[in-house]
Structure 1
Amino acid sequence: MSVESASIEDLGRELGERIAELPEYERFDEARTAVENDEAVQEKIDEFERLRQEFTAARQTDQATKTGLQKVQRAQQELHSMPAMAEYLAAQSALSDRLERINEAISEPLAVDFGGEAGGCCHD
């Protein structure tokens, strides 16, 4: 497909379709589905989120404790050590690395960080 015969939007769609065919994306998609369908993982996610929200609320009222933080950290460690979640996190990291390399390839001829800077005019 030449640039002359395709709009930039068409090229963007094609890039999206090609990304969806990458082994890293396929691994991520399978891992995400496994996490979504694993009741034990979903229960652990709910527990972690509940503890995190409780700790956040306690911090906002200056009632947070080291014990509360340790509970949140322990719940997160337990969640991340579950095989389905560990695979999900590894797949997510691999996909993120690949997308960063794609971002660099797009950004190089533009002299702009396509994924980071191109979308906004001002940064504080």
Structure 2
Amino acid sequence: MSTTTSRLEDLGTELGEAIADSPAYERFEEAKAAVEDDPDAQERIAEVERLRDEFVAAREAGEASQDHVAKLQQAQNDLHSMPVMEEYLNAQEALQSQLEAINVAISEPLSVDFGGEAGGCCQD
């Protein structure tokens, strides 16, 4: 391993640690734990997943209806309206914004958006 590669990996580790220590990440982790510890939220998450699975199965069988979509959307709305879930989603959005800004800062001097390049080369 070259010295340059080692230094870049060290900088990556430092960046990861700094992100983990940021208020946005700490808020996200706290909100995630709150959702995981909330039995009502877990029950609603399971219901949304069950309805999503039913919808996917119905769609694959060519039997999906507007009723399937409406039930799934209502369950998602009910879940997202819970205060614990609202906080989680807000915290997740704030962390994603922070990570996008970091990606821009890293990518800018390289003229490449590595975070947005999930595959293929040289596509415009």
TM-score (normalised: structure 1): 0.90
Trace 1:10-89 onto structure 2 (pairs within 5 A). Answer: 10-89=10-89
Q: Residue 120 of structure 1 corresponds to which residue in structure 2?
A: 119
Amino acid at match of 2:61: T
Runs ≥4 in structure 1, deviation > 4 angstroms?
none
Residue 108 of structure 1 is matched in structure 2 by 108
Deviation of 1:87 after TM superposition, in Å, equals 0.4
Give the letter aligned to residue 108 of structure 2.
E
Counterpart of 2:97 in 1: which secondary structure? helix
What is the alpha-carbon distance in structure 1 between the residues aligned to residue 72 and residue 27 of structure 2?
28
Q: Deviation of residue 34 (structure 1)?
A: 0.4
Percent of paired sites with the same residue:
59
Runs (5+) with no aligned partner, structure 1: none
1:36 Cα deviation from its structure 2 partner: 0.6
Q: Residues 84-121 of structure 1: CA distance to partner in whole angstroms, max 9, x if unpaired? A: 1110000000000010000000000000002122x634
Q: SS of the residue aligned with 1:114?
A: coil
Q: Which runs of 5+ in 2 are unaligned?
A: none
**Total equivalences in the alignment:** 119
Instruction: String of CA shifts for 1:41-69, please: whole Å, max 9, x gaps.
Output: 00000001001100110011111111111
CA RMSD of aligned residues (A): 1.6
TM, length-normalised to structure 2: 0.90
CA distance in 1, matches of 2:65, 2:47: 18
